[in-house]
Amino acid sequence: MKLPRAPYPVDLHCHTTRSDGADTPLELIDRAAARGMRVIAMTDHDLRPARSVRAGDGEEISLIGYAAAHGVKLLPGIEISCDTDVEDVHIVGLGCNWDDPFFAQLEQEVARSKLESYRVLVEALAQAGYPIGWQELLEQNEKAGKSLQKKQIFELLAAKGCFGSWSEAKLMTKRDSRFRIRRRKPRPEAVIEALHVAGGVAILAHPFLITPLDPQPEDFRGAYIDTLLAAGIDAMEASYPYGKTSYHGSSSAAELEALVRRLYAPRLRFLSGGSDYHADFKRGVQNAREIGECGLSYAEYLAADPLRTL
């Protein structure tokens, strides 16, 4: 597979078919290698990372070993959705003891809360005239063999022609109060503490996507991030492809990165970055996020002691 070399050789935010990505774990590694990546983090939503996958012939393949054989260092990770009353508060965990009981309990609680809240959302959308049904979503999800993700609702709406893309569908639900359905999520302070207890680092993903469900003062996001800093968040994503997401501000990704570096770098252990790659090009998304389009230079990775020792 011949692909353009990635601008960033270190990408600490990627997804696979284990949650809402379209690449299998092995396909993700293959694409990273083809793009000349040196380090990637596999950070599927609210799931303990897989240690291995089973090949077609039944052979068990170590993901870290497979990546190393392709010249890529793989960091197993997780992206945890936090805060019932605020959207897109996501914390990436790396370097954890994944056998810590916290993660098994998290998976169970998240599965229950998703079934409850996503069903309410789908029913609200159907009542508003959108051609979507709960059983249809479950059947599609079962065929894909994935854990249920909210993004799949948006993708289904886009596939039916209701919106030009999943991100447009997501923006609509953010703006229309009828569809702001609260899902029970853990408090971010508790997640940060749990990741630290498990020996890992806690990284705030895409800080400029954080959006309160209820009206808040204009400086809400800054004050909210301050509470996460006080709770001990280790890092924050600076390099991130905001223009390819549901971000609806007026600043460019470069301007937001500069803002993170100016405001928060002195208050963090290190800066992180990633593409939030989902292989959306396989779903027909135009100008989809690409692995390695955002992230860290290798020098930045080596300078971040908490990362280098993982």
The whole-angstrom separation of Cα 93 and Cα 310 is: 11
| Residue (of 28, 139, 5, 143) closest to 74 by Cα position | 28
8 Å CB contact between 39 and 72: yes
> Mind listing the pLDDT tens digit for each residue in 105-162?
999 999 999 999 999 999 999 999 999 999 999 888 776 666 788 989 999 999 999 9
* pLDDT at residue 57, as a whole number: 82
- The pair of three-digit structure tokens given for residue 258, joined into one six-digit string: 């500069």
- Which CA distances in Å does 45 have to 21, 166, 260? 10, 17, 24
Q: Which residues of the chain have pLDDT under 70?
A: 1, 143-146
The answer to whether the beta carbons of residues 72 and 295 sit under 8 Å apart is: no
Structure tokens at 254: 């470069």
pLDDT in the model for residue 141: 77
Please tell me the distance from the alpha carbon of residue 60 to that of residue 16, in angstroms, as a whole number.
18
Q: Please tell me the predicted confidence (pLDDT) of residue 145.
A: 63
Tokens of 84: 């019932």
| Residue 30: Cβ within 10 Å count | 18
Picking from 70, 69, 76, the residue whose alpha carbon sits closest to that of residue 40 is 76
Write down the pLDDT at residue 142: 76
Q: Which residues are CB-contacts of 97 (< 8 A; sequence separation ≥ 6)?
A: 198, 199, 200
